[in-house]
Amino acid sequence: MDNKTNEKVNCLIIGSGPAGYTAAIYAARANLKPVLYQGIQPGGQLTITTEVENYPGYADGVQGPEMMVHFEKQAHRMGADIRYGIATKVDFSSHPFKIEIDEEKWIEANAVIISTGASAKWLGLESEQRLNGFGVSACAVCDGFFFRNKEVAIVGAGDTAAEEALYLSKLCTTVHMFIRRDAMRASKVMQDRVLATKNIKIYWNTDTEEVLGDKHVDGVRVKNNKTNQVQTIPVSGFFVAIGHQPNSEIFKDWLEMDEAGYIKTIPGTSKTNLEGVFASGDVQDKVYRQAVTAAGSGCMAALDAERWLGAKGFH
């Protein structure tokens, strides 16, 4: 591979959600002179949400995109070098690590913090994307609160879908749960809880054909894939819980991952199996997936990187 170096940096941060920006704030304050590449979605998943009410410090709530502007400005004020660009390839075979940006330039870095996040899997409907943030959501914990005492729908059949359906059932009058097959993939204990919850109505063998609504969700059209019966159900919210895809593809030859592609870190740290490479945020967290936990792990990654660089004598 032709990895002619164009630039050398001390600490490279890949990704710009709460984890990446928090890592940049801490790394800059520690004088690690961090360079951060924002990636394909500057600001991360929060830029496709609307109101954020559960992030501490925002007493009146905040719009997701606005919050990420605050994060970015703070990182910038601390001295982080924030750039547009996407990491397209890495070569971690030797130190310093080599990272290709936008398929055109290579950067050498003494330490790398990976904060590339995860992307929600979607059904692929035009209406689902059009109404995303206007009643369509991929996170019940983030957005369920806005649908208190309303009817909502959720699609999915695994543990996450079951968890989110149960969470919504405590807030909403009815949760319509669409499952494509005649069985759930969720663990037995989660299935039992869902089935025992009176206001969760399960639709087996059901495909979502369309999310309905002009400016915001007002219903969903579904079809039974056994009987071909089509029905329209009025709902105010539509939650997609068919999983997340960690954005870890370019690291797969170098870092240990679980079967779903989440980067493995040593418990209680941000350390990967490669010394000097750290991972934070949703690319290594499939359990909590919240802005506040991502930010916390970004802080951990910067502190871990600072200590490692110090011990190795890099400044």
Q: Residues with catalytic annotation?
A: 139, 142-143
How far, in Å, CA of 221 to CA of 207, rounded?
9
Dihedral, 168, 169, 173, 179 alpha carbons, nearest 10: 80
End-to-end CA distance of the chain: 29
The CA-based angle 75-94-268, given to 5 degrees, is: 50
How far, in Å, CA of 158 to CA of 135, rounded?
22
The string of DSSP codes covering 100-141 is EETTTEEEEEEEEEE---EEE-----HHHHHTBTTTEES-HH
143: region left, alpha or beta (phi > 0 left; psi from -120 to 50 alpha): alpha
Of 164, 149, 314, the residue nearest 239 (C-alpha): 164
How far, in Å, CA of 288 to CA of 302, rounded?
20
Rounded to the nearest angstrom, the gap between the alpha carbon of residue 275 and the centroid of all alpha carbons in its chain is 25
How far, in Å, CA of 85 to CA of 6, rounded?
15
Rounded to the nearest angstrom, the gap between the alpha carbon of residue 109 and the centroid of all alpha carbons in its chain is 25
Cis peptide preceding 96, ω within 30 of 0: yes
How far, in Å, CA of 264 to CA of 246, rounded?
12
- The CB density around residue 59, as the number of other CB atoms within 10 Å, is 7
